């Protein structure tokens, strides 16, 4: 009885430790968002933002509100579409055990292992043929396919020619810039002026 209780406490303790480690980045993002900008580069971090500042949230809401609403609407629609398609499919895979179910699940896992840019290129060609480029519907469908797409809301202020020119860029068109000479010390985010 005592060994069983000790085992349960040990499992709970390990579980809490794992959850704490996994949730720490979320806590740190929230903590950093409530601090002044200069505090982010301070070599001794503050574990609790006292007093909490919401200036960053005010600034973002003031200048980006239409884009935040668009992002929330597209993300919600993408999540609902994904749920509407995935839930019946998952139910069918579990309830109706057929010979090919295991093979189908294996194929789905293999598709998840493909580089996302392969799917992006294929989706671009399909979207162009279907007229879904620069539409909310295309954006919602793309958000269901992969988290690695550059996406934005259709807007008359965007230069579509400039956006389509991005398709001609190659990896060799970019340069890596070494900024390590600007670091004040190797263990700090501070920079030399």
Q: Where are the domains of the chain?
A: 1-53, 65-153
Question: Encoding tokens for residue 80?
Answer: 């609902």
Nearest to 116 by CA among 141, 144, 145: 145
Rounded to whole angstroms, how far apart are CA atoms 31 and 48? 7
Q: What pLDDT is attached to residue 18? A: 96
Q: What pLDDT is attached to residue 2? A: 76
Rounded to whole angstroms, how far apart are CA atoms 151 and 142? 8
Q: What pLDDT is attached to residue 150? A: 45
Q: Is 68 in contact with 60 (CB distance < 8 Å)?
A: yes
Question: Encoding tokens for residue 21?
Answer: 């480690």
Cβ atoms within 10 A of the Cβ of 13, count?
10
Q: What pLDDT is attached to residue 120? A: 74
Q: What pLDDT is attached to residue 36? A: 84
| Backbone phi, psi, residue 138, to 5° | -65, -40
Each residue's pLDDT expressed in tens, for the chain with a length of 193 residues = 678 888 889 999 999 999 999 999 999 999 988 988 778 788 888 888 888 888 888 888 888 888 888 888 988 998 888 888 888 877 877 777 777 777 877 887 787 777 777 777 777 788 888 888 878 888 787 776 543 344 455 556 556 666 666 667 665 666 666 666 766 766 655 666 6
Q: Is 154 in contact with 136 (CB distance < 8 Å)?
A: yes
DSSP 148-169: T-------TTS-HHHHHHGGG-
């Amino acid at each position: 009885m005592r060994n069983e209780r000790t085992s349960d406490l040990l499992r709970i303790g390990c579980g809490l430790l794992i959850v704490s480690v996994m949730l720490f980045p979320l806590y740190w993002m929230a903590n950093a968002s409530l601090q002044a900008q200069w505090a982010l580069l301070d070599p001794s971090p503050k574990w609790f933002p006292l007093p909490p500042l919401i200036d960053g949230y005010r600034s973002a809401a003031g200048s980006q509100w239409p884009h935040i609403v668009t992002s929330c609407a597209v993300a919600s629609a993408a999540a609902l579409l994904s749920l509407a398609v995935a839930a019946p499919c998952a139910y069918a895979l579990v309830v109706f055990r057929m010979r090919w179910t295991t093979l189908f699940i294996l194929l789905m896992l293999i598709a998840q292992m493909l580089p996302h840019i392969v799917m992006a290129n294929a989706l671009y060609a399909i979207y162009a043929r279907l007229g879904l480029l620069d539409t909310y519907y295309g954006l919602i469908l793309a958000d269901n396919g992969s988290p690695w797409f550059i996406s934005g809301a259709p807007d008359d202020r965007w230069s579509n020619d400039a956006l389509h020119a991005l398709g001609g860029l190659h990896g060799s068109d970019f340069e890596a810039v070494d900024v390590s000479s600007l670091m004040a010390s190797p263990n700090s985010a501070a920079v030399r002026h």
